[in-house]
Chain A
Amino acid sequence: MGELMFDPGDIFRYLLPELILLATALLVLALDLLVSGERKHRCTFVAMAGMIGALAASIVLWAGTSQTRTLAILVFDPLALMIKILAILAILIVALLSDDYVRARSSAPGVFCALLLLSGLVVSLLASASDLIIIFLAFDSLSIIAYVLTGFLRDEARSIEAALKYFLYGATLSGVMAFGFSWIYGAVGSTHLQVIATFVNHNLTHSALDLVGAELFYMIMPALIMVGAGFAFKVAAAPFHHWAPDAYEGAPTPVSAFISVVPKIAGFAVIARFTFVVLPFSQTNLGEYWRALLIVFSVLAMIVGNLAALWQTNIKRLLAYSSISQAGYLLIGVIAGSRRGVVALLLYLSSYLLTNLGVFAGVIYVTRRARSDMIEEFSGLHQRAPWVAFCLLVGLLSLAGVPPTLGFFGKFWLFSAIIEAGIPWLAILAVLATVVSLAYYWKIIRAMYLLSPWSQEPFPVSAPALVVALVLTISSVLLGGLAPATLLSLFERAAGALFPG
């Protein structure tokens, strides 16, 4: 690993996306205070400009980075920068699809945008984090932003209740995770991932499991379970998913979109780095146990998410369970433990990001007038807003993994990676789960195309930003599905950071 010293100019250069996000967030907050009335909503444009700037900076950095660079507790490699690109893209889309909604219901759009910007900042830090302390701090900051956003509509009891549930659950699991970290620190004496990795590989390999090793083993095993529980909460994997349906249902819909995507990006960035730096599978006993733990989470998430989704009548709860099951699929990319697995993880992550945000954009489009989140609202959508129905159709098919969408390629790569890794039964289980998932996605498609509408009134097109978000995401899903090779080459390069050669 080529570690180079940093000079101050480099620090500025490598942290440029984060600095842009931070500066924009502060600027937007100040503007929100200083500007009043209608003009407040222009904060959103400033925020988006900042996000585009940060996105551009990340892309430029990504293009120019081929080596791993370490700055104390932050790592800058192609993987980290790719995660940053995805995360900033995600918050940009969330900002687009929330613009109309927030404008209609809240008097503080600047605060909303600033929180989005800050969440981009902390996810960027998490992408680079290589120390337990910054992982914990950034993770918790992200969670706090998510709690606040969930309770953003302070006058709606539902929103507050959801935020409180999310907060209580999250605070407990964060505590559990921090406790696990403290055990690791107690055993190793350092919080740096590299140091922990060296320690684990020296003391806890297959061959050298002597008395001291066994004692340490007993310390680190429970720690890993606690850390795993914390990670599983962040990505909403079963059995630590209970918060998700309630939080999705009660949160403002754009926020549901946000918490379905952004914490997952952050969580998988951290899980991947933690796993492949600290506990490479099949090198140590511990690595194998960690993999077994991840398999448990993955299997449970796929089963629980897909089965529970079948009976949902509320579109947001349905998407909540869907996102739980997606966490299960995503975990497969980590479990594979190979370069191909990481590529598949990134591919599926980007597909999930675009698809889920697109579907949520469609849901916001439909429900913002209906004021109800039931699936009946989608009845006959095809007749009232045919192209929105079409976008939703593509999105749902992509979520279910039907070709020729990006979701199909994501699943294809995941399954091939896990078969290559020698765990075919997991692939079979995942395919079966996918079949079940078709049933509930089909429920929405059926309502849109086969049932008759409850009203003939066409939807007014008065939300340009929302439309932009919908079109942008769904067209990307289609384009990506038609030409996945470009994306794959990008992700190959990113995965090279963890699996060189």
Chain B
Amino acid sequence: MSILNVAWLIPLFPFLAFVAIALYAHRDQVLSHRLAVGGIAGAFLLAQIAFWAFVLGHHAGVPFQASGIKWLFLGEQVFMLGLYIDPATAIMLFMVPLVCLMIFIYSVGYMQGDPRYSRFFAYISLFATGMLGLVVFDNLLTFFIFWEIMGTCSYLLIGFWYEKPSAFAAGLKAFLVTKVGDLFFILGLVVLYAEVGSLAYRDLFSVATLQHLAQPGYLGLPVAPATVIALLLFGGTMGKSAQFPLHTWLPDAMEGPTPVSALIHAATMVSAGVFLVVRAYPLFTAVPGVQLPFVTVIGAVTAMLGALIAVAQDDIKRVLAFSTISQLGYMVAALGTGAYVAGVFHLVTHAFFKALLFLSSGSVLHGMEHAHHHVIGESHTAQSAFDPNDMLSMGGLGKRMPRTAIAFLVGGLALSGFPVFTAGFWSKDEILAQTYVSNPPVFGVLAAAAALTAFYTARQLSLTFLGEPRSKAAAHAKESGDSMTIPLLILAGFSVVLGWVGIPEHFPLLGGLIPNWFEHFMGASLEMGPGPAHEAALAFAWQPLVVGLSVALGGLGAGYLVYGRRPLQSGEPDRVLQAFRAVKMGWVYRALQQRLYFDQLYQATFVKGSIVLARIASWLDRAVIDGSVLRAASLVRAVSGFVAWLDRVIVDALVDLVGRGARVTARALTWFDTHVVDSVVNVASWLGRLGAMASGFTDDAVLDNLSGGVAGLVGNLGRALRTVQTGRVQDYLWLALLAILALAIVFFIPF
């Protein structure tokens, strides 16, 4: 019995927290957040145990599998539920509960005072359950189920403040857009099941299966099933990880509370999409085909697009949202070009620094909002148009919120790949180095995106923290409480340290000081796997490092020069906008600001299209179907008129006849009554009176004195029985169920 079996329990803890809060604790706010934090902390501890057990045990790339529970019976087929822990799972087990725990603790402070406080903790617990369950179990069916649990939770949490129409719409949008991807995902599962007859990883990733899937000629087409399946599964990734062109939901997801944004953007939802590619990587590499190039192109386009749009956003969280999209593009492009280890590495480091950035921005917003209420309270004037997210109305917050500023700075530097110190540098450098060898054009795109990333990060830092406050709220903002800032500092620590586990061994000066543990650890699974042999660590090349260094530093420097050195004044338009205007190209900036009109495009085509279809259907319903119904109705009315006539003329006659018959009978009976019955009755009543007198004794003894002897016992029993008849139907039902139970017991005692 391996200690790794504790992994069974990891998703259970947050789930129990969810159940307990939903059913029991929802009236008690303190108990709710204790349950939620306790649940994720339990999961965190178990996950740590599992992680270290896996790392220290001599598993060296061999996945740990435990298959125990017969779960679903489909005819002859039995679905087994089991665990599957390989290096990728282990890394996720290290990252997910840790980041979740930080976010949960942070939420305790952030959500203080929300009317649906307990519900929030219930939802995020379920969300964490979804992610953890997705990671640990051993087949794609549970993967999909937990994936959908997360989808549902994202809908609930993004639309958490559903009184706000925009939040409600954002929740719906996230749900529907990711559903488009999920449709492909489930189609992929169907094809996979039809081809293999199983969805368990151990069956899917066996050599025989992969060879079978690599045979071309699927449905008579010159493609292998593996290609089709990989492309369909990647559809799921595009939805969940917000890849172009399904990226539009992610920026809107900012409408949810900030911890939710952090949860979605860092530890869970979007990671799940990339993790799907990581998990199903053997399928992607089983046969050379269009799937990997497709993945690469989508990733590169997304990386570039996200970075471009992020430059022109003024909303602090929207910038981060587009940066997430762009970074996810990095990971996907890395996986597409075969940089498996680098992709996973970036997934992990990004989770930490993006969670850090979101939580820091949440801290900023928290400060801005509270200060805003404070200001309003003083001046008694409603500033309805105030938007706390707008970076143009911030400025100078560095002095007022030092801890937040430091945390944000660390996260920002990691995001832009600031050399050597930050984790982001190492993971991004690895991707750049690998793409430089395998796919130079993609390398170019990614490098340009990296430059833009550094630029908009510098812009964001400058606008938020440097210069003078550009609004009253910014001038009065205060630092957030400990439950918010401490998780920030912990995450900041990881955003720096985590990079050191993956320093390439041939790196100048630093290489080899610390062994490249990550490469060995992750790479082992590729060597063991049936896929193409993992290439030995790349020989060091100067060019990508120089490019990487220069784009990061250059971007940051340029950003500082434009925004930081001479901070923006209140009311002054954005500098880049000024520059574009100067060359009469303001429309470019506006297009970026409008997110390249993707939303408008989808609105005009898909949404409007659906509405038009609905109108046509409605018209058909009214004109054709209702029309025929109306015609039928008038027919019925005509028939009923006829029947009414029938009633007047015929039925009445019939009824009169019957009535007359009854009257005659009654008259006859009356005669009978007066002439015959009366005399009979007189005799009978006489008899009756005689009998009555005779039984006067019984009467007195039994009925009036139901008190002594056997009669008394009988009477008292009757009285006791009567008290059972309370008149409450609940009691009757209890009695009925008790009776059934008693009968069951009595009749089973003989056995």
Name A's B-contacting residues (CB within 8 A). Answer: 30-31, 34-35, 39, 42, 45-46, 48-49, 164-165, 168-169, 172-173, 176, 218, 221-222, 225-226, 228-229, 233, 239-240, 242-243, 245-246, 289, 292-293, 296, 304, 306-312, 382, 386-387, 389-390, 393, 436, 439, 442-443, 445-446, 449-450, 461, 464-465, 467-468, 471
Instruction: Enumerate chain B residues within 8 angstroms of A308, measured Cβ to Cβ.
Output: 718, 721-722, 725
Contact status of A390 and B736, CB under 8 A, knowing A164-B729, A465-B662: no
B:728-748 near A, CB below 8 Å = 729, 731-733, 735-737, 739-740, 743-744, 746-748
| Contacts A/B (CB < 8 Å), 15 sampled | A42-B652, A42-B659, A45-B662, A48-B658, A168-B733, A225-B740, A242-B724, A308-B718, A308-B722, A386-B678, A386-B685, A387-B678, A442-B695, A442-B699, A445-B688
B741 to chain A, nearest CB (A): 9
**Which residue from chain A places its CB closest to the CB of B644 in the assembled complex?**
A34
Nearest CB of A to B594, in Å: 59
CB-based contact A46/B651 at 8 Å? yes
**Cα-based distance from A442 to B701 in the complex (angstroms):** 13
Residue of A46, A296, A306, A445 near B692 (CB, 8 A) is A445
CB proximity to A under 8 Å, residues B627-643: 640, 643
Q: B613 contacts which chain A residues (CB < 8 A)?
A: none
A34 touching B640 by the CB < 8 A rule?
Answer: yes
For chain B, residues 76 to 105, give those with C-beta under 8 angstroms from any C-beta of chain A.
Answer: none
**CB atoms of A464 and B721 under 8 A apart:** no
Question: In the assembled complex, how far is the CB of residue A211 from the closest CB belonging to chain B, in whole angstroms?
Answer: 14
What are the 5 closest A-B residue pairs judged by CB atoms, nearest first? A464-B666, A307-B718, A242-B732, A239-B739, A42-B655
Interface pair A169/B644, CB less than 8 Å apart: no
Known: A168-B729, A464-B665. A226 touches B702 (CB 8 A): no
Given A42-B655, A165-B729, A308-B721, CB of A176 within 8 Å of CB of B740:
yes
Residues from chain A with Cβ under 8 Å of B584 in the complex: none
Q: Are B718 and A240 in contact (CB under 8 A)?
A: no
Which partner residue on chain B sits nearest A218 by CB separation?
B751
Q: B658–A172 contact, CB under 8 A?
A: no
| A242, A450, A465: residue with the most chain B Cβ atoms closer than 10 Å | A242
CB nearest to B658 among chain A residues: A45
Instruction: Assess the B703–A442 pair: CB atoms within 8 A.
Output: yes
Q: Quick check: B702 and A439 within 8 Å, CB to CB?
A: yes
Q: Verify B692–A450 contact, CB threshold 8 A.
A: yes
B715 within 8 A of A: yes
How many angstroms from the CA of A471 to the CA of B670 in the assembled complex? 11
Majority SS at the chain A contact face: helix
Are the CB atoms of A172 and B733 closer together than 8 Å? yes
- In the assembled complex, B2 has its CB within 8 A of some CB on chain A: no
Distance in Å: Cβ of B708 to nearest Cβ of chain A: 15
Number of interface residues of B (CB under 8 A): 58
| With A226-B740, A446-B703: A468-B721 Cβ-Cβ less than 8 Å | no
Bound CA–CA A169/B735 (angstroms): 11
Nearest residue in A to B684 (C-beta to C-beta)? Answer: A390
Q: Which residue of A is nearest B724, CB measured?
A: A242
Known: A34-B643, A306-B718. 5 other contacts (CB 8 A): A242-B724, A292-B747, A387-B673, A464-B666, A471-B669
Report A-chain residues with C-beta under 8 Å of the C-beta of B652: 39, 42
Q: Known contacts A39-B652, A310-B718: does B739 contact A240 (CB below 8 Å)?
A: yes
Report if B717 contacts A (CB, 8 A).
Answer: yes
Q: Are B688 and A221 in contact (CB under 8 A)?
A: no
Q: Write out the residue numbers on chain A whose beta carbons fall within 8 Å of the beta carbon of B737.
A: 172
A24 to B669 Cα, complex, angstroms: 28
By beta carbon, the residue of chain A nearest B733 is A172
Min CB distance, B141 to chain A, in Å?
27
Q: Report chain A residues within 8 Å CB of B703.
A: 439, 442-443, 446
Within 8 A of A (CB), among B683-723: 684-685, 688-689, 692, 695, 698-699, 702-703, 706, 714-715, 717-719, 721-722
Please tell me if the beta carbons of B736 and A240 are within 8 angstroms of each other in the complex: yes
Residue of A nearest to B721 (CB): A308
**Chain A: which residue is nearest B742 at the CB level?**
A239
Q: Do B714 and A436 have beta carbons less than 8 Å apart?
A: yes
Contact with A along B284-321 (1 / 0, CB 8 A): 00000000000000000000000000000000000000
Q: How far does the Cβ of A434 sit from chain B's closest Cβ, in whole Å?
A: 13
B689 (CB) vs chain A CBs: closest residue: A449
**A310 in contact with B725 given A229-B739, A445-B692, A468-B669 (CB within 8 Å):** no
User: Which residue of chain A is the closest to B655 with respect to CB atoms?
Assistant: A42
A168 to B715, CA, bound (A): 31
Please give the distance in Å from A207's CB to the nearest CB on chain B. Answer: 18
Determine if B387 is an interface residue (Cβ-Cβ < 8 Å): no
Q: Shortest distance in angstroms between A97's beta carbon and chain B's nearest beta carbon?
A: 14
Query: Are A173's CB and B682's CB within 8 A?
Result: no
Residue in contact with B736 in the complex, picked from A31, A164, A173, CB distance below 8 Å: A173
B490 contacts A by Cβ under 8 Å: no
Instruction: Determine the residue in chain B with the shortest Cβ distance to A171.
Output: B733
Residue of A nearest to B665 (CB): A468
Residue on A nearest B739 in the bound complex, by CB: A239
A431 to chain B, nearest CB (A): 14
A313 to B688, CA, bound (A): 22
Q: Are A390 and B681 in contact (CB under 8 A)?
A: yes
Q: CB within 8 A of A389: which of B685, B729, B744? A: B685
User: Hey, which chain A residues are within 8 Å of B751, CB to CB?
Assistant: 218
Counting CB contacts under 8 A, is B203 at the interface? Answer: no
Tell me whether B626 is interfacial, beta carbon within 8 Å: no
| CB <8 Å contact, B666 and A468 | yes
Q: Is B114 an interface residue (CB 8 A)?
A: no
Is B621 in the interface zone, CB < 8 Å from A?
no
Task: Closest A residue to B735 by CB, please name it.
Answer: A242
Contacts of A31 in B (CB 8 A): 647, 651
B514 adjacent to chain A (CB < 8 Å): no
Residue with the highest number of chain A CB atoms closer than 10 Å, among B640, B673, B718, B719 = B718
CB distance from A154 to the nearest CB of B (A): 19
Cβ–Cβ contact B684 & A229, under 8 A? no
- Chain A residue numbers with a CB within 8 Å of B113 are none
Chain A residue with the shortest CB-CB distance to B706: A310
Chain A contacts for B729, CB-based, 8 A: 164-165, 168-169, 243, 246
For A306, list chain B residues within 8 Å (CB): 718
Whether B743 contacts A246 by the Cβ 8 Å rule is no
Enumerate B333-356 residues with CB–CB distance to A below 8 Å: none
Residues of A within 8 A of B717 (CB): 307
Complex Cα gap A382–B688 (Å): 10
Cα separation A46 to B650 with both chains bound (whole Å):
12
Query: Taking the complex as formed, is B677 at the interface, i.e. its CB lies under 8 A from any CB of chain A?
Result: yes
**B508 located at the interface, meaning its Cβ lies under 8 Å from any Cβ of chain A in the complex:** no
Residues of chain A with a CB closer than 8 A to B733's CB: 168-169, 172
Question: When the two chains form their complex, are residues B658 and A169 in contact, meaning their CB atoms are under 8 A apart?
Answer: no
Residues on the B chain within 8 Å of A245, using CB: 725
B727 at the interface (CB under 8 A from A): yes
- Hey, what's the 0/1 contact readout for B648-671 against A, CB within 8 Å counting as 1? 000110110011001101100110
> Which residues of the partner chain A approach B681 to less than 8 Å between Cβ atoms?
386-387, 390
For B715, the closest partner residue in chain A by CB is: A310
Q: A49-B658, A172-B736, A308-B718 are in contact. Are A293 and B727 (CB under 8 A)?
A: no
- A residues within 8 A CB of B663? 464
**What 0/1 readout, one digit per residue, does chain B (124-156) give for beta carbons within 8 Å of chain A?**
000000000000000000000000000000000
Residue of A nearest to B683 (CB): A390
Chain B residues with CB under 8 Å of A390's CB are 680-681, 684-685, 688
